Structure 1
Amino acid sequence: MQQSPAVAGTVSTHLSRFLMNAVPGPASGRLHLLSDLGPDVLRDDLARTSTHSLLTIWEQLVLTEPHTLIGPRVLANAPIGTFGVWDYLITSGPTLGQSLSRAVEHIASLGDPAAERLLVEEDGRDVVVRHATGSWGPDLVEAVDLFALALFLDRARAAVGRHVIPSYVTITHRPPARSRQLAEMFGTDRISFGAPYNSIAFTEDDANTPLPKAQPGLDRLLIQHAEQLLAASRPVLRWHDRFRMVLATAFREDAVSLERVARRLALSPRTLQRRLWENGTTWREQVESIRQQHTLDLLRTTDLPLQSVAGRVGFSDARALRRAVHRWEGRTPGDIRRTARPTALG
């Protein structure tokens, strides 16, 4: 499916709205202050919120309930229709296997096609859905990965109309403290941790099962509808704001380079530089600005050692970090932390 460049770096409000509703009250209120997570935006099914803002929601969920299986657990409150047309693509095709393929092909109807890498393949006995996401913090990536695998299983069960048991599950992360609970969620002990990739496999019998909600031609109508909705959708943020969101995400991933950021925006590096010049700025100025913002946020809201903060924002060591903070603020990192304590986020 050909994607509009405007879609890269954004997600459906169906997904953002759902995850926002899972965040406890006070924390949710703070998230609503973000420019593309306000109530009016989240009520608009044609709006596209930034992937950066979605990651901020995931961060809050992980911080609120650390060391829990928050990714799969939130799906307990996600009936069919929660994720808009994507839910019907995955539950209304001729067979489960075909529905899985179409849901993967049209993942832009739900998530960010530039950040979510999905593949459906057959290994001779099973139909396997593979998933990978960005290289953000390990807790965040684990939550997103487990959410994605659990989502495909939950929707497969809804599509077939019975309690489908996967052939096996592979997970790139180490076994969580509640691995027994994870086995209960997936319905199988055949879970391999530390695997090369994340995947969930369905038997050929399950994959070839005709779906009870399938009707001749319905899948084609749903695909057409999904494409029309995507064409009519619009990112909430202006181009420059989206660029800064993507650049901030690159800092999270330790992937700050002109080429990578340009690719996320579906631009060539030269075009990106020209767009920045048209907006009265340069790549170097923007990198320095985001580095400053990210550094000060980490100092104000975390207790990370200075060496760890330095590594996260691209400084060689804590001494270089101190020099930069003094240049920006005329104060030391310790001064910033002491004055921020009363208002630091929990």
Structure 2
Amino acid sequence: MQPHVNEGTVSVHLARFLLEAVRRSGTSLGRFARLPDLDPEVLRDDLSRISSPTALVLWEQLTLTEPASAIGALITHHAPIGTFGIWDYLLTTGGNLVETIERAVAYLECIGDPAGEKLQTTEDGPHFTIRHTTGPWAPDVVEAIDIFALATFLTRARAATRRPVVPLRVTFTHRAPHQHRHLVEFFGTRTIEFNSPSNSLTLLDEDVRAPLPKAQPGLEKILMRHADLTLATSRPVLQWRDRFRATLIAALHEDTASLDHVAQRLAMSPRTLQRRLGDLGTNWREEIEAVRQEHTMDLLRTTDLPLQSIAARVGYSDVRALRRAVRRWEGRPPHALRQPTARSR
């Protein structure tokens, strides 16, 4: 397997799943039509790789639609085996769960962004633990992705073993919600700990070592060869300008939107980045202003997020800076741009 050849992208299977989850939430998909890597032709190609910032836009919409519902776990009810392509079969085909989970971790790139997602497995006596971390995005988006990752492993473990596997313990780095009934129902245990050092799912040895009922010796090698071929022939959709914009959007989410940092993410010097932008008739300041404006207007017109939250999401230090920027762009204050339809969602 070639590691990290698809940095900054996720599989088209994951993108299709997230887009469908957004559609099921009742949100119009029209606002996503402007995103070049969500074009229907792109989504029909199993070798397409979708930019991580585009995937984050979809995650953000899901958290805005269902802000207190443990959406990361709930959407997995609509993800039967095969939803995530070859990765699903790597995770459910083999001698036992120890083998399949470790293989799925090694081939994380088949579903997610190898630069943004990290998975680790450990064994401690009779316990087998999976740990997950993602990038420093907006807190509610990070929480949804962390829950989704652990929930996906559990649904696949249950499908592979054909048993109602119940974890010994589930932990999250996030603070406890006002109620976590949905999480208790999904994971099947009340032993869910918050404010923990890691996001983890701990399974019992008797579950992870039990022979899988449909094991077919040798099939996993065929699947691994297919996964290698898929990764080697996959195609990131975005061209250079779009990749730059996607990287800049991600940096704004991470609060690291400096010229040096973005240039480093694009594997070039700051001077080369400035020259490339100049060749396109633009510059760093104009690009960062354009991205902030586009994202701000989108959030103001389609969500009820407080101004403080919007300011943080688009990289402004406080609400006053956001208000000044909106007046500069639109000649009106932020509240004048909010639409009644956003409040009624």
TM range (shorter): 0.7 to 0.9
Provide structure 2 residue ranges, at least 5 long, that are not aligned to the other structure.
Answer: none
Q: Counterparts of 2:115 and 2:269 in 1: how far apart (Å)?
A: 15
Judged with a 3 Å threshold, the aligned counterparts in structure 2 of structure 1 residues 279 and 135 are, in CA distance, closer, same or farther, namely same
Q: Does the CA contact (< 8 Å) of 1:258 and 1:269 recur in 2?
A: yes
Q: Counterparts of 1:267 and 1:107 in 2: how far apart (Å)?
A: 26
TM-score scaled by length of structure 2? 0.87
TM-score scaled by length of structure 1? 0.87
Residue type at the aligned position of 2:148: F
Q: Counterparts of 1:26 and 1:326 in 2: how far apart (Å)?
A: 28
Greater alpha carbon shift after TM alignment, 236-245 vs 81-90: 236-245
- Residue aligning to 1:185: 186
Judged with a 3 Å threshold, the aligned counterparts in structure 2 of structure 1 residues 303 and 170 are, in CA distance, closer, same or farther, namely closer
* Alignment RMSD (CA, Å): 2.7
Judged with a 3 Å threshold, the aligned counterparts in structure 2 of structure 1 residues 328 and 124 are, in CA distance, closer, same or farther, namely same
Judged with a 3 Å threshold, the aligned counterparts in structure 2 of structure 1 residues 56 and 201 are, in CA distance, closer, same or farther, namely same
Q: Counterparts of 1:161 and 1:33 in 2: how far apart (Å)?
A: 42
1:49 Cα shift? 1.3
Judged with a 3 Å threshold, the aligned counterparts in structure 2 of structure 1 residues 266 and 231 are, in CA distance, closer, same or farther, namely farther
Greater alpha carbon shift after TM alignment, 56-65 vs 290-299: 290-299
Q: Counterparts of 2:169 and 2:309 in 1: how far apart (Å)?
A: 37
- Residue aligning to 1:338: 336
Q: Deviations over 1:286-342 (max 9, x none)?
A: 32332333344444445556555444444444454454445545x2434xx425636
Q: Counterparts of 2:176 and 2:308 in 1: how far apart (Å)?
A: 28
Greater alpha carbon shift after TM alignment, 31-40 vs 53-62: 31-40
- Residue aligning to 2:202: 201
Greater alpha carbon shift after TM alignment, 231-240 vs 204-213: 204-213
Residue aligned with 1:36, SS: helix
- Residue aligning to 2:104: 103
Q: Counterparts of 2:184 and 2:137 in 1: how far apart (Å)?
A: 25
- Residue aligning to 2:144: 143
- Residue aligning to 2:17: 18
Q: Counterparts of 1:188 and 1:342 in 2: how far apart (Å)?
A: 40
Q: Does the CA contact (< 8 Å) of 1:8 and 1:265 recur in 2?
A: no
Q: Counterparts of 1:261 and 1:176 in 2: how far apart (Å)?
A: 34
1:139 Cα shift? 1.9
Q: Counterparts of 2:173 and 2:128 in 1: how far apart (Å)?
A: 19
Judged with a 3 Å threshold, the aligned counterparts in structure 2 of structure 1 residues 32 and 214 are, in CA distance, closer, same or farther, namely farther
- Residue aligning to 1:9: 8
Q: Does the CA contact (< 8 Å) of 1:69 and 1:178 recur in 2?
A: no
Q: Counterparts of 2:237 and 2:169 in 1: how far apart (Å)?
A: 39
1:230 Cα shift? 1.2
Q: Does the CA contact (< 8 Å) of 2:64 and 2:303 recur in 1?
A: no
Q: Deviations over 1:62-109 (max 9, x none)?
A: 222231121111111221111110000001122211111110111111
Q: Does the CA contact (< 8 Å) of 2:76 and 2:152 recur in 1?
A: yes
Residue aligned with 2:339, SS: helix
Judged with a 3 Å threshold, the aligned counterparts in structure 2 of structure 1 residues 161 and 105 are, in CA distance, closer, same or farther, namely same
How many matched pairs?
A: 342
Greater alpha carbon shift after TM alignment, 27-36 vs 261-270: 261-270
Q: How does 1:227-242 map to 2 (within 5 A)?
A: 227-242=228-243
Residue aligned with 1:169, SS: strand
Q: Counterparts of 1:139 and 1:110 in 2: how far apart (Å)?
A: 21
1:164 Cα shift? 1.4
- Residue aligning to 1:85: 86
Q: Counterparts of 1:162 and 1:308 in 2: how far apart (Å)?
A: 42
Q: Counterparts of 2:307 and 2:74 in 1: how far apart (Å)?
A: 34
